[in-house]
Structure 1
Amino acid sequence: MVCVAVNGKPVLGVIHKPFSEYTAWAMVDGGANVKARTSYNEKTPRIVVSRSHSGMVKQVALQTFGNQTTIIPAGGAGYKVLALLDVPDKNQEKADLYIHVTYIKKWDICAGNAILKALGGHMTTLSGEEISYTGSDGIEGGLLASIRMNHQALVRKLPDLEKTGHKTLYQDTPMRKPSCVRQMISPINTGDTASQVIFRSASLQRLHLSSQIISSKPSSSSVFSYGGIVYWR
């Protein structure tokens, strides 16, 4: 996964599935090769959740949407975002919502956040706050991702986790960065295009991105990559 965040806001995301050789990308106001599905079930949704850091997400989902709700445990935040979209991969699960209630790293969700944002969807904390990709490495407020739904209505429908004594939902063991992901300071020349910056970050994860995805220039040479997220100010 690769993400470009400008002033803390995700603007471009790339998610690559190496086994099926499928790559999804989208840029805010800049096009996409993936799209939303035509319909979603808001009353009894299929909800994709973390398999390894689930916390009490199943209880929260069933409490909110009822016992007819289908829970889909899955690995990988990028995979779970793609589950919300119209992906031409027969092995890809289909879901209506993505809910996470434990600690999660920002580098793990930035690409999916950018893609959803570019397609008119939303990824926020469980209380409806936008996620900023500056400051701390992770978020403790959980997350809710949706597309073509009334996102704020979904937020209001979720239980107030602090008032119901579920504050410990957020107190999960923080995930370590995979060994293949390293913090990298990537100085660039003022004349470098953003696509060149993305290629440098992507090379860490052995992705091959199209140079046609983005061609704008960064405003300064203050650019760095962290866990596949490319930032500039």
Structure 2
Amino acid sequence: MAAINVSAIMPDLLQIAKKAGDAIMEVYNQPASFTQITLKSDQSPLTQADQAANDVIAAGLAALTPDIPVLSEEGKMVPYEVRQTWPLYWCVDPLDGTKEFISRNGEFTVNIALVAGTTPVAGVIYAPVTNELYYTNGQDGAYKKQGDQEVEKLAVTGKTEKLVAVKSRSHGAPEEIAFLSQFAVTDEVRIGSSLKFCLIAEGKAQLYFRHGPTMEWDTAAGHAILAQAGGKLTNPDGEPFTYNKPSLLNGSFLCSGWQ
């Protein structure tokens, strides 16, 4: 992180995320019949909003940090032979929760993370429908700001006697139920996108286990925020969860509201 002062650029970074959210909302607020939905090569949906948000973020980051490369879900894929040499890069999901966007439940986010080597060190998650910003500069904690309200410092609850598990709105697997059975889970919350990480970071849940596949840009910003709030994201066996892998596909992982 020596090459960049994240604290100094955080206000600009938050504005980039909000402008991307504005671009998404321009599409979201159109009549549903006007929203063009296509399919990517892996058959996941791509809307006008994904590309509009990506254009805003790509331009904003290029102006803010021209020497730091960007790896984005909607951008050009970069071969591992190239990106393995990157000491720092932005890992971006312009619209996380496209299925939530299409179903119009509001549970989608803009994700921007700064990755140093193989570890996310700073990040921003913006939920445009609720105007909620979650962020960390990687140095002095994680924070939430909703609308014009005061900034709130985030903190996990720690390992409590009664645990709340957060689960995906659109995905699920029997393996997740089996894995979580080893914990004293007494309640569950279902929510879309990277907001699952945020719920743990702000102490509203303590566990999130994901068995099904995700991509690095789905988890990087949430990983950074959760870590700075006092929680952690690891492989199911407790080993470190790393980024900038030869394959950008993530394996299973566990988020917890304690170290």
TM bucket, shorter chain = 0.5 to 0.7
Higher relative contact order (CA 8 A, sep 6+): 1
Q: For 1:1-233, what aligned pairs fall within 5 Å after superposition?
A: 1-34=111-144, 35-37=153-155, 39-40=157-158, 42-56=160-174, 57-61=176-180, 63-66=181-184, 69-76=186-193, 78-86=194-202, 94-135=204-245, 136-140=247-251, 142-147=252-257, 149=258, 151=259
Instruction: Measure the CA separation in 2 of the matches of 1:58 and 1:84.
Output: 18
Cα deviation for residue 21 of structure 1 reads 0.9
Q: Structure 1: which amino acid aligns with 2:163?
A: P
Q: Which residue of 1 aligns with 2:48?
A: none
Alignment RMSD (CA, Å): 2.1
Contact 1:36 1:84 in 2 (8 A): no
Amino-acid identity (%): 27
Instruction: Measure the CA separation in 2 of the matches of 1:96 and 1:33.
Output: 17
Runs (5+) with no aligned partner, structure 2: 1-110, 145-152
Between Structure 1 and Structure 2, the one with more helix by share is 2
Scaled by the length of structure 2, the TM-score of the pair is 0.49
Q: Deviations over 1:91-132 (max 9, x none)?
A: xxx212111122111110000001122233211111112122
Q: Which residue of 1 aligns with 2:33?
A: none
Cα deviation for residue 69 of structure 1 reads 2.2
Scaled by the length of structure 1, the TM-score of the pair is 0.54
Q: Aligned in 2, Cα 1:146/1:38: closer, same or farther, shift over 3 Å?
A: closer
Runs (5+) with no aligned partner, structure 1: 88-93, 152-233
Task: Kindly report structure 1 stretches of 4+ aligned residues shifted beyond 6 Å.
Answer: none
Q: Secondary structure at the match of 2:178?
A: helix
